[in-house]
Amino acid sequence: MLEIVSVSVFYEIAALLVLAAAVGLVGVLLRQPLIVSFIAVGILAGPSLLDIVRSDEKIDLLAELGIAVLLFLVGLKLDVKLIKSLGAIALTTGLGQVAFTSIVGFAIGLALGLDVVTSLYVAVALTFSSTIIIVKLLSDKREIDSLHGRVALGFLIVQDLVVVLAMLVMSAIAAGAQSGSAITEVALVFGYGLLMLVAVGLFIRFIAEPLVERLARAPELLVCFAIGWAALLAAAGDYLGFSKELGGLLAGVSLASTPFREAMAARLAPLRDFLLLFFFIALGASLDLSLLDQQIPAAIVLSLFVLIGNPLIVLVIMGAMGYRKRTGFLAGLTVAQISEFSLIFAAVGVSLGHIGTGTLGLVTLVGLITISLSTYMITYSHYLYAWLEPVLGPFERRGTPRETVGDLENTTGHYDVLLFGLGRYGSAIAHRLSEHGMTVLGVDFNPAAVKHMRKAGFDVAFGDATDPEFVASLPLAGATWAVSAVPEHDTGVTHEEARLGLIDALKEAGFQGRVAVTAHRTEEAMPLTDRGADLILQPFRDAADQAAQLIQGDESRPQRTGV
């Protein structure tokens, strides 16, 4: 097989793709992110094992293009308007976590015997968390719009800003190191950087939106332009003394304020994943397995720091700012890993000659350990919280002013119906009940839904229906119905489905009324009924039944066409 692969680059790429698909399937079965699987592919295909990778230059070219596209997509998220609207919690938590991880990580690096520059690189690499992994896991759990999900996304944006600063500083230092007059060269790089930022600002102000609007008329052309623009600014950044990575990121920032950024991001995401495969293959293939044994003790120490220290500092900061221990714990788990940026950052350091390949191997090992374990930690976060909740009391301020207690103080205190879930279906139920003279207290963990229903004149409590402590704090006395309009929510094998958890929480809190629960499939009804639901709402079936009744009862009326 190796002889066949060496005949043609095409055969080599084909072998790598087949190997990636096979290893990726195993990773999916183990519920692991593809990043872990792709690094494993590189290790398997590298010289230490199968020795499939022969065309290093061509794979490195695809890897560099993949990094440029990745940073372009990161830049697309950094809308200037969004940055201005960053909340205090996202900014404080993000900067606090970055500062804590950098300082303590640097000290740990020195204690492990690393030199100052290597310790600095390792410390900075430990600060980045993977946006791709966190968003994917929270979306799968349908927690992306929860309070802890939004807080996590907020400090991920802060981390992205730190990426920009780290790339700029690294480029300036590298340029200074390559010149006899370091100070002059650094000043020149920063001057070029300022000039490029001004050019990007003018592009955003006068050109970006009308240009992209014209290109969007042909979606294929828009994708071609996005890739070309990312490559152009990456090349310009490299030519002016920055890194290609910073140029690609600025390309994304320049288009982030346009109304078509989501369309570009959606179309480029598969290409990003495909090209990043080659970055991780190149990374894995560059690792010498004989040297990794020496890095294992240090990797374990640094991994424990990331897995425990990062969530702990987020929990401390959020608790100090008035958030409940549950919210802080769930948000903190999202930073219990390092990201693909950490590996890219270390790889750039190797290319600049600042650190050796051994340090890159160390960071990669930490990435494999933390990404693998944190995936399970986030997946089974509610189970972990239930296990650790008795010892988390010191991390919660009395009264938790940032959360639900304050919301409930402004409510009337007595309600006929407690309605959990204020999406389209839940809000429609609330309006119909209100029209029939019933008082409703809405409950949701999506701030946008809470704000919308309050504008509509409803009393709303902000909180999570899966939290028994929160459910017990609601005004349950006197309510005749508790209605769940929350869809099916699978949070993992060891954590019970949310609707069943809500029924149990209501029972434990002594709720005396009846319980109605939404189910979209007939087979969901029996477990809910067995657990104690008095009424099963099936929106599609109920709507079809009503439609059939209306049609049967109105046969004498003229048929209507159109909307």
Tens digit of each residue's pLDDT (9 = 90 or more) over 129-158: 877 678 767 766 767 667 777 778 777 777
Q: Do both 296 and 389 map to the same domain? A: yes
Query: In this predicted model, what pLDDT tens digit does every residue of 5-49 receive, in sequence order?
Result: 555 788 888 888 999 999 989 988 887 777 788 888 888 887 777
- 168 and 122 in a single domain? The answer is yes
Residues 307 and 375 in one domain: yes
Higher per-residue confidence, 304 vs 177: 304
Residue in the block written with tokens 């029209």: 435
pLDDT at 562: 38
- The average pLDDT across 259-263 equals 81
For every residue of 376-396, DSSP letters joined together read: HHHHTHHHHHHHHGGG-GGGS
Q: Which tokens go with 26?
A: 């195993």
Contacts of 1 (CB under 8 A, 6+ apart): 15
| Residue 10 included in any domain | no
Say if pTM beats, i.e. exceeds, 0.85.
Answer: no
Spatial separation of the C-alpha atoms in residues 242 and 171, rounded to whole Å: 5
Half-sphere exposure of residue 469: CA atoms within 13 angstroms, side-chain side: 13
pLDDT at 528 over 50: yes
Distance of CA 242 to the CA centre of its chain: 28
Q: What percentage of the chain exceeds 70 in pLDDT?
A: 83
Q: Which of residues 376, 395, 414 is at a domain's end?
A: 395
Residue 518, domain CATH? 3.40.50.720
Amino acid at 308: I
Q: What is the CATH number of the domain that holds 152?
A: 1.20.1530.20
Residue 11 lies in a domain: no
| Within-domain flag for 13 | no
Is 7 within a domain? no
pLDDT tens per residue across span 183-213? 666 677 677 778 888 888 899 888 988 898 8
pLDDT tens per residue, range 290-303: 667 778 899 999 99
Range of the domain at 353: 56-395
Question: CB under 8 Å to 395, separation ≥6 — which residues?
Answer: 315, 316, 319, 325, 328, 329
Reduced to 3 states, what is the DSSP secondary structure of residue 461?
strand
Same domain, 311 and 451: no
- 510 falls within a domain: yes
Mean pLDDT score, 544-562 = 66
Same domain, 187 and 284: yes
**Which residues, at least 6 apart from 149, have a Cβ–Cβ distance to it below 8 Å?**
138, 143
The one-character DSSP state at 323 is -
Cβ within 8 Å of residue 350, ≥6 positions away: 356, 357, 359, 360
**What band does 311 get if pLDDT is binned at 50, 70 and 90?**
very high
Q: Tell me if 441 is assigned to some domain.
A: yes
Q: Do 390 and 416 fall within a single domain?
A: no
pLDDT for position 530: 85
Closest CA to 536 of 552, 520, 550, 558: 520
Residue 49, domain member (yes or no): no
Q: How many domains does the chain have?
A: 2
Question: Which residues are CB-neighbours of 84 under 8 A, at least 6 positions away?
Answer: none
Find the range with the poorest average confidence among 176-180, 229-233, 250-254, 426-430. 176-180
User: How many other C-beta atoms can be found within 10 angstroms of the C-beta atom of residue 319?
Assistant: 22
Question: What does each C-alpha distance from 146 to 356, 450, 466 come to in angstroms?
Answer: 42, 11, 11
**Over the stretch 347-360, which tens digit does the pLDDT of each residue have?**
888 877 888 888 88
pLDDT of residue 563: 32
Identify the pLDDT of residue 301. 95
Residues 318 and 327: beta-carbon distance below 8 Å:
yes
Most confident of 21-25, 85-89, 185-189, 552-556: 21-25
Q: Are residues 189 and 237 in the same domain?
A: yes
| Residue ending a domain, choose from 395, 429, 448 | 395
HSE-CB at 437 with a 13 A cutoff on CA atoms is 0
Which pLDDT does position 494 carry in this prediction? 31
Instruction: Note whether residue 370 is domain-resident.
Output: yes
The reply to whether 389 and 408 lie within a common domain is no
Residues 445 and 360 in one domain: no
Residues 484 and 351 both lie in one domain: no
Domain boundary among 363, 395, 427: 395
Residues 234 and 340 in one domain: yes
79 close to 257: Cβ distance less than 8 angstroms: yes
Q: Are residues 439 and 371 in the same domain?
A: no
**Cα 191 to chain center, whole Å?**
34
